Amino acid sequence: MQQPATTNEPAIPAKRKAPAMRKAPAKRKAPAKMQKPATTKPAVRVRMRKKPSNPGSERKDEKAPAKRKAPAKMQKPATTRPAMSAKRKWSSKPSNPGSECKDEPGTPAPAVEVWWSCPHPKCTYCISADKLRRNNMKWQHLSFHNKKHRSTTAKQANFMSRAYMLRSVWNGKLKRTPGGLTKDELCVSHRGRIVPKRRSAHSKKCAAKTGWADNWRQWCRAHAAIRKEQGIKSFLKVKKDGSVLQKDLYLRILERWAEGKASAITSSLCRAGSRVTYQLIDADAPGAAAGA
């Protein structure tokens, strides 16, 4: 056995191998969508009618089967109402002729509480009937009354306003108002409204006593005069805080009304023996401040 030669040179260390890279895990495949199993409809067999070899060999007595008719819809039996006479006859007899007691023949039915009765013609309705039905029967009964049995007094609830109610009395549709006023106690105002005579006279008296009527009359005259001077023929408001034209018209009417008012006061003072006179002064005129 030969021994290996020994040398004093140091041994060279072996190079380390690099660690192997781990492989990435494989991606999972998405599961396939659930699909319904394909269903195939069974083939429909069509039976073909065989034609006879001899066309004249068929039986002539055999007929094709009749088609079934669709069942008719259920219809209610037709009910015919009895013919109504020209004049309805209302009676107090019971509507059901067999309402008498059957246990004891000849005994009348028990007393029924009366809800409403009418003497023209005599008719009664019991309280046991349905509310809607008995109200309808009462309305029908009243609608067939003669005119002499209808109410001739107007009711405020039947009209939109008091003016319409007074107009109906004035036209003769009704005889009196709820307060008892007849046509002789009504009159037509200067505006074409129907008003009571006594109320109209009282209002005129109060307007004359307070001076409101004379004041309003002077304002209307001043308004008419200014419109005629300015040549205004269309509608234009008289407004203190309105547009330029409306404000100008208001100021002109006010000046004309004040002139008439001053002249009226001066004339009344002269009649009383006073020497004081009222006169309007234009502020823009020269010497107006000195005169004041």
Question: Average pLDDT in the 221-243 region?
Answer: 94
The neighbouring-strand residues paired with 39 are none
Q: Are 156 and 136 in contact (CB under 8 A)?
A: no
Q: Are 238 and 251 in contact (CB under 8 A)?
A: no
pTM of the model: 0.43
- Give the model's confidence band at 4: pLDDT under 50 very low, under 70 low, under 90 confident, else very high: low
pLDDT of residue 151: 79
The CA distance from 227 to 231, in Å, is: 6
pLDDT of residue 82: 56
pLDDT score of 9 more than 70: no
Q: What pLDDT, in 10s, does the model give residues 96-127? A: 444 444 445 555 556 678 888 887 667 788 87
Q: Are 194 and 167 in contact (CB under 8 A)?
A: yes
> Mean pLDDT, the chain, as a whole number?
76
